[in-house]
Amino acid sequence: MYKFLLANRYLRTRYIALASIISVTLGVATMIVVNSVMSGFSSQMKDRIHAILSDVMIETTSTDGTDDPRELMAKVEQLAGEYIEAMTPTVEIYGMISFDWAGQTVYRPITLIGIDPQGKNQVSPFASHMLSRNEIIEDGEVVRAPLRSMDEPLDWELTEEAKNVRKEWVEWEQFKEQYDHQYGETSSPQTPIAQDSGIQQAVAIESTDFPVLNDPFQTVSGTEQSETETNPAVPPAMPEFNDPFANQKPVKKHDPTAPLFGRVYLGAGLVSFPYKDKATGKTHVMYMVKPGQDVNLTTIKSGKPEPANFKATVTDIFKSGMSEYDSNLVYCNLEQLQLARGMLFSPDPAEPEKNLDWKNGAVTSLQIKLKNYNDAGEVVRQLRSGLEPGTYQVRTWEEKQGPLLEAVAMESAILNVLLFLIITVAGFGILAIFYMIVVEKTRDIGILKALGASSRGVMVIFISYGLALGVVGSSVGVILGLLFVRYINEIEKLLSLMTGRKVFDEAIYYFREIPTVVHPTTVIWVALGSIIIAVLASVMPARRAASLHPVQALRYE
């Protein structure tokens, strides 16, 4: 009893020891904050990666893909159907995008992915990253409300805003054309005529087997055709592409502002950049291409090392938050990409856009969503053993992003080790102060021994004192840390206000707020670890106290 009473009294009367525990408190608080923010970032990053990558991916080794996706899907269903919730075929190929911006043509290397939007949205929650479904926030203010609800199915339809953009854009393009025609060479280096001639040649050589969707500007150049017949936004009339019935068909009068058959979702990083408005000092995001405009895409044909070009209308822009994806990925309608690469075999040449079905073409990968991700290892094992080796690669999304995830885990581990070293240093502080307290309490120890306290009892006093200090220090640390995590965004705002510059710039991190995830187990381990350090630090002084000779201790002045 006297042990706990004295430990308790020492705790309440020796403020110097509480000072020594402050370092433990701060260490614990820092560890909790750092761990929470890091796992917040890490889980956000995983979410973002997972929004782009599905649970399991089957990819053909060749970029030409497999000719019969239905057979592949049936086989996958047979091998691991019980674990699979949804799967969707895709064509994944490197390519290049180009678009006009400020009088120049901008080229960017990309990864072009042909998808079925609803299928894709089933295997990874992709729709929520579309710009049209999110509000646009600049400098903490909502500058535009969402244009579409999150629950709307993902498709290739343009929003009203995109349609308006398209209308203006088509008018501008037509005006440019007329201007170019009237005044000869334009200021724009990309003249439709020069561009067309090259593409037309390429198409002319390779357009025998299947229809190739083409740029409206390629077919409509100059002013031979009247305004009503000008059809800049719709795939070309088929006669140019050996349509046997072309001559019998009446020439359709198309709306020039109708979008093209090819549609794409662009990564935000490909077509946007932040800039600072000098007048207001605010940061805005400039989009070089807006939904509704057309872009040129170039990739390679299937089976031959030759370029494939097509134009597509931008349907939406996505921002997953992973710059690696946002500045690299372009999602295209699967049929268009198959068509452009010569992977699609149209059953009805009469109206190719309407009857196109990816099932009649080749695909390069299958994206699979599992009912329970814990089964991923088993599914991968079964698929690997069931599919022809060398032809297919089967990987989970974590395996595909392995190095990145490992790097994050490593970073977090090193930080934890360093922070724990700080707490250990604090432990030595406790040790020193405990030694002082034992010296100060030498006579009391003598008294206790004279009254019959055993050496063990005296030792227990100081170890329980260390334990009490550790518990108090780490509890306060846990509370401080959790409060800091809870109000981290408010603290960030306060700091920004005080320093006059943004501490956490959402434009850089793609986060509106600092993400935090508190793992209770981590908190418990941190608290336990520091309590153990405090106890260990008190063992040596406690042993010294226990070994004091009562007579010498009583004589100590």
Partner 1 sequence: MSQPSTIPMTDPIHRPVHLCAKALDKAYQKGEHKIPVLRGVDVKIERAEFLSIVGQSGSGKSTLMHLLGLLDDPDVGEVWLDGNRIDNLPATTRDKLRNHVFGFVFQFYHLLPELTLLENVLTPLMIRYPAWEYWKRRSEFREMAKEITKQVGLDHRLKHKPSELSGGEMQRAAIARALIGDPSVLLADEPTGNLDSQSGGEIMNLLHKLNEEAKLTIIMVTHDDNIAQQAQRIVRLSEGRIQALNEAA
Residues in contact with partner 1 by CB under 8 A are 1-6, 9-10, 13, 443-444, 446-455, 457, 549-551, 554
User: Smaller CB distance to partner 1: residue 9 or 519?
Assistant: 9
For residues 426 and 432, give the distance between their C-alpha atoms in angstroms, rounded to a whole number: 10
Give the shortest CB-471-to-partner 1 separation in angstroms. Answer: 18
User: Smaller CB distance to partner 1: residue 518 or 554?
Assistant: 554
The residues facing 100 across adjacent strands are: 105
Tokens representing 231 are 């059809």
For residues 173 and 183, give the distance between their C-alpha atoms in angstroms, rounded to a whole number: 15
Tokens 């719709």 — which residue? 234
The string of DSSP letters for 346-360 reads -S-SSSHHHH--GGG
User: Smaller CB distance to partner 1: residue 144 or 555?
Assistant: 555
The string of DSSP letters for 435-474 reads HHHHHHTHHHHHHHHHTT--HHHHHHHHHHHHHHHHHHHH
Length of the chain: 557
Give the shortest CB-16-to-partner 1 separation in angstroms. Answer: 14
Give the shortest CB-448-to-partner 1 separation in angstroms. Answer: 7
Tokens 């630090």 — which residue? 537
Rounded alpha-carbon distances, angstroms, from residue 525 to 166, 306, 320, 409: 57, 59, 33, 17
Give the shortest CB-470-to-partner 1 separation in angstroms. Answer: 20
User: Smaller CB distance to partner 1: residue 11 or 340?
Assistant: 11
CB 335 within 8 A of CB 356: yes
Q: What angle do CA 6, 468, 454 make, to 5 degrees?
A: 40
290: nearest Cα among 309, 310, 264? 264
Give the shortest CB-447-to-partner 1 separation in angstroms. Answer: 5
CB 300 within 8 A of CB 283: no
> In sequence order, which residues have a C-beta less than 8 Å from that of residue 26 and are 6 or more positions away?
477, 480
Give the shortest CB-459-to-partner 1 separation in angstroms. Answer: 13
Give the shortest CB-555-to-partner 1 separation in angstroms. Answer: 9
Give the shortest CB-451-to-partner 1 separation in angstroms. Answer: 5
Tokens representing 188 are 């724009």
For residues 209 and 341, give the distance between their C-alpha atoms in angstroms, rounded to a whole number: 12
30: nearest Cα among 372, 431, 416, 304? 416
User: Smaller CB distance to partner 1: residue 11 or 112?
Assistant: 11
For residues 419 and 27, give the distance between their C-alpha atoms in angstroms, rounded to a whole number: 7
Give the shortest CB-12-to-partner 1 separation in angstroms. Answer: 8
Give the shortest CB-426-to-partner 1 separation in angstroms. Answer: 25
Give the shortest CB-543-to-partner 1 separation in angstroms. Answer: 15
User: Smaller CB distance to partner 1: residue 2 or 172?
Assistant: 2
The string of DSSP letters for 187-246 reads SSS--HHHHHHHHHHHHHHH-SSS-----HHHH--TTSS-TTT--TTSPPPGGGGT-TTG
Tokens representing 503 are 């501490």
Tokens representing 464 are 């329980």
User: Smaller CB distance to partner 1: residue 70 or 549?
Assistant: 549
Tokens 């782009």 — which residue? 52
For residues 51 and 409, give the distance between their C-alpha atoms in angstroms, rounded to a whole number: 20
Q: How many CA atoms lie within 13 A of 138 on its CB side?
A: 14
Give the shortest CB-450-to-partner 1 separation in angstroms. Answer: 5
For residues 42 and 516, give the distance between their C-alpha atoms in angstroms, rounded to a whole number: 9
User: Smaller CB distance to partner 1: residue 251 or 439?
Assistant: 439
User: Smaller CB distance to partner 1: residue 510 or 556?
Assistant: 556
DSSP H or E stretch at residue 406: helix 402-440
DSSP H or E stretch at residue 321: none
Give the shortest CB-24-to-partner 1 separation in angstroms. Answer: 23
User: Smaller CB distance to partner 1: residue 284 or 443?
Assistant: 443
User: Smaller CB distance to partner 1: residue 390 or 452?
Assistant: 452
User: Smaller CB distance to partner 1: residue 7 or 368?
Assistant: 7
Give the shortest CB-83-to-partner 1 separation in angstroms. Answer: 56
User: Smaller CB distance to partner 1: residue 332 or 469?
Assistant: 469
User: Smaller CB distance to partner 1: residue 6 or 363?
Assistant: 6
